[in-house]
């Protein structure tokens, strides 16, 4: 996720800003840049790659001044490159931005129509041009603060921005809507940052901006108004976290932080991609041209591990909504068979890292057979998207915990969008059903927040099962990939043996394992498969297994059979996996944490598997 740092005071801004950016490195980035008011105007230095490259560039071109902004970029619109690195400039202003501007296509077209020439592929550059144009309405008469407010009234989406102007050397204007931004109040200096660690070397007194706030930062302090121009006050908070705690946002582990980030990153993955009025998904965002969507004869998913579990859900959605035959293959197996691909296949390679060697090898086989490749990845321009015909990106931001959590739920969200998109192009999905699915998906982050609000209960259940050496996870339909994912998470970080099974398969073998010592997590929300899964629960109970049910709030009969029930809110069947997986992630996390395991870096595992 992008990182923002700003400084206005009496010290040399550039080194302080680079130092602040270094404190945000854990957020991940592909390029970086700084803009400083250097007396006569704003000067910008940017570099692709690590911050050391920016430092080298700054040695060659020192920026001297006491007001400046800096940025580390995690690409979302436009590939990682120096040209796309922030800050972006227009006339007297320079801007850094974190987030996604939903109406970027319309605004860019409008600005191009007015003769604006864009230098980058980013959505951010739009903000620079909008602010510059507001300033140009009455040169010298409009403040940067007012111009930024007016510009932001045109912007739809999520953003945290910081802007400086040649004409106001002692001011930084910042704003937030949906992306984090904190203001730090020092002695004769004011800072801003995407996250607390960027500020801790200078101050522990901070103001958390709220959505819709625009703030004017001067060395003497901060003044805040809403985008609409109404004055507001926000409390000053004193932070006593250590640096390490601050990096994890106060959570004990990155994995727990990432579990709790899921509503936000699912929102980011959906943002700007859904047309609720038309019940459709914007073609430009999907990586599959409409004519290809109409003519493919099969969707062939390849992926490994957690991404493979997302693929199983993807197959259900593609079959149900787009009525295209779909298969799912473990990428690590594809190359050892003689897989049969056709030029009329859409091969969807799912890989959060975009670098997994087995998935890459499967893509090569499919390409050789002339199939069309769509990469679904979290890392813009990584190896798999680069070798694909198109890419659909999730916007989870970098995932630091080795066990994947937020990348999984964003993959689910992106796959459901893909299924709706294919269904609409192929006319297999009526507008009304598409509208209902997309509406439900859009509302899902709020329901995810509700489920995560009950994390303490999962801690309690984790205490009860922490000593279990074997745990069974069962699920049916869209609950099946969640059972697989729940078992994988538990194995990976708690080192307990866990099996994920299709509930209907229980009778064909695993039922022999069940006794009073065996915890069985059953994914059993009120969906189309509910009655069948419920009867599996009764079979488990008859053998004295301990049932932990993930069930829909209000399901009274569940109270009679399950030892523990984790309630999730009622929702449409299609979006349930985004909810039912959350208790599974929390359960694994708490079991591993109770055992004192290294949750973020479990033994023997690597975040990106680049060997076959």
Catalytic residues: 2, 607
Backbone angles phi, psi at 582, to 5 degrees: -65, -45
Question: What is the smallest separation between the CB atom of 337 and ligand F6R, expressed in angstroms?
Answer: 19
- Of residues 380-399, those binding ligand F6R (CB under 6 A): none
User: How many other β-carbons are positioned within 10 Å of the β-carbon of residue 138?
Assistant: 9
The sign of the dihedral angle between the CA atoms of 116, 119, 124, 128 is: negative
- Of residues 338-367, those binding ligand F6R (CB under 6 A): 351-353, 356, 359
Query: How many helices (DSSP H) and strands (DSSP E) are in the chain?
Result: 20, 27
Question: What is the smallest separation between the CB atom of 607 and ligand F6R, expressed in angstroms?
Answer: 7
Question: What is the smallest separation between the CB atom of 602 and ligand F6R, expressed in angstroms?
Answer: 9
Instruction: Return the number of the residue (397 or 423) whose C-beta is nearest ligand F6R.
Output: 397
Q: Is the separation of the CB atoms in 369 and 334 below 8 Å?
A: no
User: How many other β-carbons are positioned within 10 Å of the β-carbon of residue 334?
Assistant: 22
Question: What is the smallest separation between the CB atom of 304 and ligand F6R, expressed in angstroms?
Answer: 4
Instruction: Return the number of the residue (124 or 351) whose C-beta is nearest ligand F6R.
Output: 351
Question: What is the smallest separation between the CB atom of 608 and ligand F6R, expressed in angstroms?
Answer: 6
Instruction: Return the number of the residue (371 or 584) whose C-beta is nearest ligand F6R.
Output: 584
Helix (H) or strand (E) holding 175: strand 168-177
Instruction: Return the number of the residue (359 or 494) whose C-beta is nearest ligand F6R.
Output: 359
The sign of the dihedral angle between the CA atoms of 95, 101, 104, 110 is: negative
Cα distance between residue 540 and residue 474, in whole Å: 11
Question: What is the smallest separation between the CB atom of 355 and ligand F6R, expressed in angstroms?
Answer: 7
Question: What is the smallest separation between the CB atom of 351 and ligand F6R, expressed in angstroms?
Answer: 3
Cα distance between residue 241 and residue 220, in whole Å: 25
DSSP characters over 442-492: HHHHHHHHHHHTTHHHHHHHHHHHTT-SEEEEEE-TTHHHHHHHHHHHHHH
Q: Is 492 in the site for ligand F6R (CB under 6 A)?
A: yes
Output the residue with the shortest Cβ distance to ligand F6R.
305
Token pair 């296509």 is at which residue? 105
Q: Is 165 in the site for ligand F6R (CB under 6 A)?
A: no
User: How many other β-carbons are positioned within 10 Å of the β-carbon of residue 286?
Assistant: 23
Residues touching ligand F6R, count (CB under 6 A): 15
Instruction: Return the number of the residue (90 or 351) whose C-beta is nearest ligand F6R.
Output: 351
Per-residue binding string, ligand F6R, 299-328, x by CB under 6 A, is: -----xxxx---------------------
Question: What is the smallest separation between the CB atom of 571 and ligand F6R, expressed in angstroms?
Answer: 24
Q: Is 409 in the site for ligand F6R (CB under 6 A)?
A: no
Exactly one of 403, 521, 524, 587 binds ligand F6R (CB under 6 A); that residue is 403
Q: Is 444 in the site for ligand F6R (CB under 6 A)?
A: no
Instruction: Return the number of the residue (227 or 487) whose C-beta is nearest ligand F6R.
Output: 487
Cα distance between residue 148 and residue 164, in whole Å: 10
Instruction: Return the number of the residue (255 or 571) whose C-beta is nearest ligand F6R.
Output: 255
Instruction: Return the number of the residue (191 or 392) whose C-beta is nearest ligand F6R.
Output: 392
Token pair 């035959």 is at which residue? 325
Q: Which residues contact 474 (CB under 8 A, 6 or more apart)?
A: 483, 500, 501, 502, 503, 506, 520, 521, 522, 523, 533, 536
Q: Is the separation of the CB atoms in 54 and 3 below 8 Å?
A: no
Q: What is the total residue count of the chain?
A: 612
Instruction: Return the number of the residue (407 or 506) whose C-beta is nearest ligand F6R.
Output: 407
Q: Which residues contact 208 (CB under 8 A, 6 or more apart)?
A: 182, 234, 237
Tokens of 306: 């957690």
Helix (H) or strand (E) holding 314: helix 305-317
Q: What is the DSSP letter of 426?
A: T
Question: What is the smallest separation between the CB atom of 414 and ligand F6R, expressed in angstroms?
Answer: 13
Return residues touching ligand F6R (CB under 6 A): 304-307, 351-353, 356, 359, 403-404, 488, 492, 608-609
């Amino acid at each position: 996720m992008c990182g923002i740092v700003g400084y206005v005071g009496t010290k040399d801004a550039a080194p302080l800003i680079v130092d602040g950016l270094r404190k945000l490195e854990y957020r991940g980035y592909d390029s970086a840049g700084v803009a400083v008011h250097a007396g006569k105007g704003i000067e910008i230095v940017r570099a692709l790659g690590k911050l050391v490259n920016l430092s080298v560039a700054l040695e060659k071109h020192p920026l001297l001044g006491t007001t400046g902004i800096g940025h580390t970029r995690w690409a979302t619109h436009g590939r990682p490159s120096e040209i796309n690195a922030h800050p972006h400039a227009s006339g007297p202003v320079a801007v850094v931005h974190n987030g996604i501007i939903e109406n970027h296509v319309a605004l860019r077209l409008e600005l191009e129509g007015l003769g604006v020439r864009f230098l980058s592929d980013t959505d951010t550059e739009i903000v620079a041009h909008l602010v510059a144009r507001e300033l140009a309405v009455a040169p010298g008469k409009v403040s940067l603060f007012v111009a930024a407010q007016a510009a932001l009234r045109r912007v739809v989406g999520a953003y945290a921005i910081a802007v400086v102007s040649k004409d106001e050397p002692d001011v930084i204007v910042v704003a937030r809507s949906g992306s984090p931004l904190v203001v730090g109040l020092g002695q004769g200096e004011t800072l801003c940052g995407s996250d607390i660690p960027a500020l801790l070397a200078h101050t522990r007194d901070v103001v958390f901006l709220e959505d819709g706030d625009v703030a004017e930062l001067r060395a003497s302090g901060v003044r805040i108004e809403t985008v609409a121009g109404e004055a507001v006050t926000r409390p000053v908070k004193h932070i006593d976290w250590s640096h390490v705690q601050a990096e994890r946002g106060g959570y004990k582990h990155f994995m727990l932080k990432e579990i709790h980030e899921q509503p936000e990153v699912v929102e980011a993955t959906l943002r700007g991609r859904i047309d609720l009025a038309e019940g459709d998904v914007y073609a430009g965002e999907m990586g599959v041209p409409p004519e290809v969507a109409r003519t493919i004869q099969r969707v062939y998913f390849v992926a490994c591990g957690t991404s493979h579990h997302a693929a199983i859900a993807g197959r259900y959605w593609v079959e149900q909504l787009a009525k295209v035959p779909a298969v799912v293959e473990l990428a690590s197996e594809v190359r050892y068979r003689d897989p049969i691909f056709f030029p009329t296949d859409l091969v969807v390679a799912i890989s959060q890292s975009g670098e997994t060697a087995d998935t890459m090898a499967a893509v090569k086989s499919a390409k050789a057979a002339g199939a069309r490749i769509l990469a679904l990845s979290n890392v813009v321009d990584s190896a798999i998207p680069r070798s694909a015909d198109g890419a659909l990106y999730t916007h989870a931001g970098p995932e630091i915990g080795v066990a994947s959590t937020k990348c999984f739920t964003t993959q689910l969200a992106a796959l459901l969008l893909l299924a709706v998109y294919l269904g609409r192009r192929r006319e297999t999905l009526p507008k009304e059903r598409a509208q209902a699915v997309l509406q439900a998906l859009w509302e899902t982050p709020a329901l995810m927040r509700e489920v995560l609000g009950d994390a303490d209960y999962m801690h309690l259940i984790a205490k009860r099962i922490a000593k279990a050496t074997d745990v069974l996870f069962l699920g049916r339909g869209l609950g099946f990939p969640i059972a697989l994912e729940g078992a994988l998470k538990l194995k990976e970080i708690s080192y307990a043996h866990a099996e994920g099974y299709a509930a209907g398969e229980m009778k064909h073998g695993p039922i022999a394992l069940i006794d009073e010592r065996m915890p069985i997590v059953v994914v059993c929300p009120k969906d189309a498969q509910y009655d069948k899964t419920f009867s599996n629960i009764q079979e488990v109970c008859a053998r004295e297994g301990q049932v932990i049910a993930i069930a829909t709030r209000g399901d009274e009969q569940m109270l009679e059979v399950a030892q523990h029930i984790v309630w999730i809110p009622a929702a449409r069947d299609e979006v349930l996996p985004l909810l039912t997986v959350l208790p599974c992630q929390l359960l694994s996390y708490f079991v591993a944490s109770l055992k004192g395991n290294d949750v973020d870096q479990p033994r023997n595992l690597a975040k990106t598997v680049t060997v076959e």
